[in-house]
Amino acid sequence: MRALAELYAALDETTRTSEKVAALARYFAAAPPADAAWALYFLSGRKPRQVIGSRRLSEWAIDAAGVPAWLFGECYDAVGDLAETVALLLADTPSAVAAGEPASLSFWIEERLLPLREADEATQRAAVLQAWSELDQPRRFLWNKLITGGFRVGVSQRLVVRALAQVSGVEDTVIAHRLMGDWAPSADWYRGLFVSQRADADVSRPYPFFLAHSLEDDPASLGTLEEWQAEWKWDGIRAQLIRRAGQSFLWSRGEELITERFPELAEAAARLPDGTVLDGEVLPFRDGVVLPFGQLQRRIGRKQLTRKILAEVPVALFAYDLLEVEGRDLRGAPLRERRARLEQILDSGDDAIRISPLVSGSTWDELAAARERSREVNAEGLMLKRRASPYRVGRVRGDWWKWKVAPYTVDAVLIYARRGSGKRASLYTDYTFGVWAGDTLVPFARAYSGLTDAEIREVDAFVRRNTVEQFGPVRTVRPELVFELAFEGLQPSTRHKAGIAVRFPRILRWRRDKPPREADTLEIVRAMLREG
């Protein structure tokens, strides 16, 4: 357990990715497989059902430390974390400090912790107090974390996978796949991670993604239009769908296996011919229309996919490339050939796996005009791809370009605030912004997202201190804070005071540098409307 406590400290002490990976690799290189399995279990965000409730733990710590409950409360307020409060509050006993080679992590979990689940309270209490007296502070902290389950230390699955690949020499895509799903941590399971000839190794492996650069120049500089193919630039999740050996795998660009997140795609993939790999975009798609990305976010954020959310935000894979056909790597073939084969395969018009349509135009100007309509289909612009190009690896200049439409931005002043809902119920997070019309601020957009938690707290405090007037749930605040808002479109509106309705307004950043008087005017916004 000491090794894991040291790993925890090492991960906590650095923000450098390379050092986190190195610390993880050091740990896994030295840890016995049974311990490593448990460490992986916790590091990948899994946790056993909480063995002992937080209230009991607090009560026992109060007894063990010999402090009154109010003083424990003061300590907790200063620390903000139960496991840490208890670890800090108890003094190290001489036996803990002097303890030599400690028992293994798996012993602590399997022999000391998990059996407590079935035990009565007195036994649990005695066992926990005994453990506290045996452990020094860093291990006491870890032990408490194992009990309460909140083992968060700021390493992503990717880093853990990278460290394991480094230690074992097994490819990270293989390890990533083997870490997916439900598994019980054991020494055998851990050893199995690195077995080279497991059948699933090759079957799941995605190809590296080909990524595009942004087009800064005039598209005419790319040459004749005939050499290029134009598609919508979607705002979704870039993904590779693999159908091999009767199994389906959906990989995100971050090389995360996301098959389970999108059951409708997994189901549709089963109808693909064996040995097929598609590249495309997972998009929220309902009634023949691509929905805004925000809808997809609602689904991504969830642990449990309820029937309700599946019905509200169905998804489709908009495929735009074919990387493998009949088990053969097709990446070297020119795009025009890959596209033709893709059209054949997706001929059936399956709803969940669709072909991403081409955008046509006979001149660059016509394409530019089409690009201006991107927002109408919830696209971010166009992709330009050279018809003769192979499917390359990584971000390579020259063959794929993203030609995005710019978001509109306006500097506006916070004028009204109301409380948010759910997690943010206690905070003022729902803001209305105004732009200047002469000497008055006209409400112009309402936005929620885009601020960090720290900024939200700061704005919340500002709102509470600077309320001029309260009308129901809405507070009018002193017009002092300026924010840069981005939005995707403008429409004339008779229902809005400013005479304009904005689409998808969001806060880009807090303009602390700008005094409110320098925020934008209604005239400027109206000019955008005419241009748009």
Partner 1 sequence: MTETLLHLTPRGLYCPPGDFFIDPWQPVSRAVITHAHSDHARPGMRAYLTTHEGQAVLRGRLGPDAAIQTLAYGEPLGLNGVELSLYPAGHMLGAAQVRVAYRGEVWVVSGDYKTETDPTCAPFEPVRCHTFVTEATFGLPIYRWRPQAEVLAAIHTWWRANQDAGRASLLFGYALGKAQRLLAGLDPAIGPIFCHGAVERFNGIYRAAGIALPPTAYTGAATREVDWSRALIIAPPSAQASAWMRRFGEVSTAFASGWMRIRGARRRRGVDRGFVLSDHADWPGLLGAIAATGAERVWVTHGYSAVLARWLTEQGLDARPITTPFEGEQGAATGEEE
Smallest gap from residue 72 Cβ to partner 1 (A) = 9
Q: Enter the tokens of residue 411.
A: 């500097």
Minimum distance, C-beta of residue 23 to partner 1, in the bound complex (Å)? 12
Alpha-carbon span 83 to 281, nearest angstrom? 42
Minimal distance, residue 92 CB to partner 1, in Å: 8
Distance, CA of 52 to CA of 241 (rounded, Å): 42
**Residue 32 phi, psi dihedral angles, 5° rounding:** -60, 145
Nearer to partner 1, 88 or 222 (CB): 88
Q: Which residues bind partner 1 (CB under 8 A)?
A: 12-15, 65, 67-68, 70-71, 74-75, 78-81, 84-85, 88-89, 91
Q: Which is nearer to partner 1, 67 or 99 (CB)?
A: 67
Looking at the Cβ atoms of 75 and 165, the one nearer to partner 1 is: 75
Least gap, CB of 85 to partner 1 (angstroms): 7
Q: In what order do the strands lie in the sheet with 379-386?
A: 213-214, 400-404, 379-386, 228-234
- What is the C-alpha to C-alpha distance for residues 79 and 62, in angstroms, rounded to an integer? 15
- The position carrying tokens 């189901």 is 267
Closer residue to partner 1, CB minimum distance, 142 or 485: 142
- Cα(423)–Cα(445) distance, integer angstroms: 23
E-strand ranges in 126-275 read 210-211, 213-214, 228-234, 237-244, 247-252
Say how far apart CA 398 and CA 416 lie, in whole Å: 48
Long-range contacts at 183-186 (CB < 8 A, ≥ 24 apart): 185/37, 185/38, 185/40, 185/41, 186/34, 186/37
Tell me the C-alpha distance between 45 and 156, whole Å: 9
CB closer to partner 1, 84 vs 200 = 84
- Residue 223 CA to residue 461 CA, distance in Å, equals 55
Question: Token pair for residue 66?
Answer: 């010999």
Q: How far is the CB of 80 from partner 1 (least distance, A)?
A: 6
C-beta of residue 277 within 8 angstroms of C-beta of residue 241: yes
15 burial via Cβ count (<10 Å: 0-12, 13-18, 19+): exposed
Q: How far is the CB of 126 from partner 1 (least distance, A)?
A: 23
Q: Please state, as a whole number, how many other Cβ atoms lie within 10 Å of the Cβ of residue 303.
A: 4
Q: Can you say whether residue 39 is alpha, beta or left, with left for phi > 0 and alpha for psi between -120 and 50 degrees?
A: alpha
- Choose among 241, 403, 407: nearest CA to 324: 241
Closest separation between CB of residue 31 and partner 1, Å? 21
Quick one: 70 or 471, whose CB is closer to partner 1? Answer: 70
Closest separation in Å from C-beta 139 to partner 1: 15
Which residue number, 67 or 114, has a Cβ lying nearer to partner 1? 67
Angstrom distance (rounded) from CA 261 to CA 239: 12
Which is nearer to partner 1, 28 or 72 (by Cβ)?
72
Q: Which two tokens stand for residue 284?
A: 């929220």
CB of 150 to partner 1, least distance (A): 13
By C-alpha distance, which of 217, 215, 246, 247 is closest to 233? 215
Nearer to partner 1, 67 or 528 (CB): 67
Nearer residue to partner 1 within complex by CB, 91 or 527: 91
Nearer to partner 1, 13 or 329 (CB): 13
Q: Report, in Å, the least distance between residue 450 CB and partner 1.
A: 23
Least distance (Å) from partner 1 to the CB of residue 59? 16
